[in-house]
């Protein structure tokens, strides 16, 4: 991570990379350590918590889904709730690019914080000229 990349936004795909110990999890772990030490700031969107919950609920069970939400909330990161300028920017991104609504919120959050987006989602490639990105290894 470069000095200018101290503010990061984790996409849902990055959260799953960490939770499921996929390739790239070590990068997320290192980033979380930096956040614990005050060397970085990590944000996630409220919508990523929703995605982690419902996907885990579909693929596993309610206990695992709740446990994952609790784990994420215990990490050195902040959850950004919806607010007007974020909603507007997400709407603009959604209308202009072929991305999901969840990805529009994550991208808007990255833009709002002038951060770097950490992900493994090819949808974000369309936004590579708008926001800084660190691509984790794609599956």
pLDDT tens digit sequence for 20-33: 999 999 999 999 99
pLDDT score for 66: 98
Q: Is the pLDDT of residue 1 over 60?
A: no
114 exposed, middle or buried (CB, 10 Å; 0-12, 13-18, 19+)?
exposed
- Name every residue whose Cβ is closer than 8 Å to that of residue 119 and which is 6 or more positions away in sequence: 10, 11, 13, 14, 106, 133, 134, 135, 136
Provide the residue ranges of all domains of the chain, joining segments of one domain with +.
3-135
pLDDT tens digit sequence for 90-122: 999 999 998 999 999 999 999 999 999 999 999
pTM of the model: 0.94
Quickly name the fold that domain 3-135 has: Rossmann fold (3.40.50)
pLDDT tens digit sequence for 45-67: 999 999 999 999 999 999 999 99
């Amino acid at each position: 991570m470069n000095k200018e990349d101290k503010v990061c936004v984790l996409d849902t795909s990055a959260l799953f990379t960490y939770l499921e110990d996929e390739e790239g999890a070590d990068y997320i772990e290192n980033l979380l350590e930096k956040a614990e030490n005050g060397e970085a700031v990590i944000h996630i969107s409220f919508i990523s918590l929703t995605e982690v919950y419902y996907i885990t609920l579909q693929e596993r069970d309610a206990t695992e889904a709740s446990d994952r939400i609790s784990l994420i909330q215990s990490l050195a990161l902040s959850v950004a709730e919806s607010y007007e300028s974020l909603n507007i920017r997400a709407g603009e991104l959604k209308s202009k690019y072929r991305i999901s609504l969840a990805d529009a919120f994550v991208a808007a959050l990255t833009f709002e914080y002038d951060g770097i987006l950490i992900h493994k989602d090819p949808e974000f490639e369309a936004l590579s000229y708008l926001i800084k990105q660190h691509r984790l290894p794609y599956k």
